[in-house]
Amino acid sequence: MKKILNLVATFAMAALVFAACEPENNTPTPPTPGPGTGTGNGGNENEGGGQTAELKADFTFEVDGLAVQFTNASTGAEAYLWNFGDENTSTEKDPEHTYDAAGTYTVKLTVQDAAGNAKNVEKEVTVAGAVKAYFTATAKTDRAGKFGKIFTLDATGSENAASIVWDFGDGSEASTEFTVDHEFPEFDQTYTVKATVTGQGGDVDEFEATVEVIGYNELLKGGSMEADDAAFWTVKEYFMMAEDWSGETTDPQYVHEFGHTATVPAGGKGGCLRIGGESQFMQYSFKSTVYQEIEVVEGDRIEISAQIKWGENTVDNGLWWWCIGQDAEVLGDDGEMSGTILELFNYWAVGTPLPAWDGNLLGAGLPEGCGYGAASTTEITEDGKVVWTATFTGKAYFGFQLRSVWGNFWGEGVDYFIDEVSAKIVL
């Protein structure tokens, strides 16, 4: 009987020590194994003890960002000690623990039965902060990423992402690389690209953006010729005086009016540039140059276009020059412009209202009674577009010069309207 009482006292003491093993610093002491207790993963069999065959250490867990809910799946256990792998512990049966940083941690659970027998199990737990998808899209070109079909899509800026799936928005096969070069099928199209990322904890996030694939780079600024566009253009004004057949010497009221809306060119889109004069009576012809600075690269093919319209009551002989040069003076001297790449002119049909030009030099696009001449570096494409090939690299002065050859023979006032001026790099 004395031996039995001593044995009971031993069990009671062991249970008491295990239950009170958590010191004030919240770092509990592991339970004291009973005689012959083994260690290791997955619940090692103990040698000795009364009910070791029923004792098993096991647990499951669910990850939500940095937080983990642990669920005890052990059998035969009455006491528990968790080591979360980050110097924190718990003696709760089903603890919840939040880690300070993303990573993979080795979590160890040690369990003990009433007889003092112990078993343990270890599992790796990966946690992460909330996943956040993000990517950038940069065109791979020789022109500072301004045009081209091939884009570098970079999602390495996504937070806490373990994997990714791309949807390029063009029906092509998806990719699972965080950085990928993708060639879109069509120029002048906008594609919606979506990146779906999965975090280390299994959570999912999406990021979507549009990618504009353009086949040209618009070099000019302010080509709409609205009122605010005047800031992008340099205007030079010149006069040529002819004989005053009427004997009058009225000074002309010469204008450059950006954002004019009373009369716009056919095909124009709102405000335009008005060039002319309100009281030019027979004796005056004029010449005006409008230009701005652009950057070109030797070999660039630059397509130029504009909408031009003579006033409704204008009967004149007009001349239009496209001009590009390395020196602004070639655009505005009094003689022939050395930077001329195209000359558009109306034949000498004084007294006939002048037609409008829509930028096309073929078919219906070229007004009847008008002609043109092109420099050797200028190509007229099959669809009537004007394309100039750059012969140098660096700053260029691009502009147009407009001339009223006879003033207005019938004294109605000479007005020209210019809209949709464009210089585009074409591939």
Task: With CA atoms as reference, report the closest residue to 276 among 308, 323, 304.
Answer: 308
Q: Is residue 146 domain-shared with residue 227, that is, in the same domain?
A: no
* Number of domains forming the structure of the chain: 3
Does residue 162 share a domain with residue 101? Answer: no
Name which of 47, 145, 64 is nearest 98 in CA terms. Answer: 64
Q: Do 364 and 388 share a domain, yes or no?
A: yes
Return d(Cα 391, Cα 89) in angstroms, integer: 75
Q: Which domain holds residue 271?
A: 218-426
Which structure tokens are listed for 391?
């012969």
29: tokens are 């002491």
The pLDDT assigned to 28 comes to 42
Amino acid at 70: F
Q: Are residues 269 and 410 in the same domain?
A: yes
On whether both 120 and 146 belong to a single domain, the answer is: no
Inside any domain, residue 120:
yes
Instruction: Provide, for the chain, the percentages of residues in helix, strand and coil under a 3-state DSSP scheme, each rounded to the nearest 5.
Output: 10, 45, 50
Q: What is the pLDDT of residue 203?
A: 82
Same structural domain for residues 313 and 414? yes
Are the beta carbons of 365 and 357 closer than 8 angstroms?
yes
CATH no. for residue 235? Answer: 2.60.120.260
Which parts of the chain register pLDDT below 70?
A: 1-53, 142-147, 200-201, 238-253, 263, 266-268, 277-285, 311-316, 332-337, 347-354, 364, 405-414, 427
Identify whether residues 348 and 239 lie together within a single domain. Answer: yes
The answer to whether residues 203 and 119 belong to one domain is no
Check residue 255 and give its pLDDT. 80
Is residue 63 within 8 A of residue 84, CB to CB? The reply is no
Report yes or no on 130 lying in a domain.
no
**In this structure, is residue 131 part of a structural domain?**
no
Start-to-end Cα distance in the chain? 103
31 neighbors 112 (Cβ within 8 angstroms): yes
Where are the extended beta strands (E) located within 3-144?
59-64, 67-72, 79-83, 89-90, 96-98, 103-112, 118-127, 136-139
Q: Which two tokens stand for residue 73?
A: 């799946």
Same domain flag for 209 and 222 = no
Residue 210 and residue 264 in one domain? no
- Whether residue 141 sits in one domain with residue 39: no
Tell me the CATH number at 203: 2.60.40.10
Alpha carbons 174 and 166: distance in angstroms, whole number = 5
Which residue among 106, 125, 144 closes a domain?
125
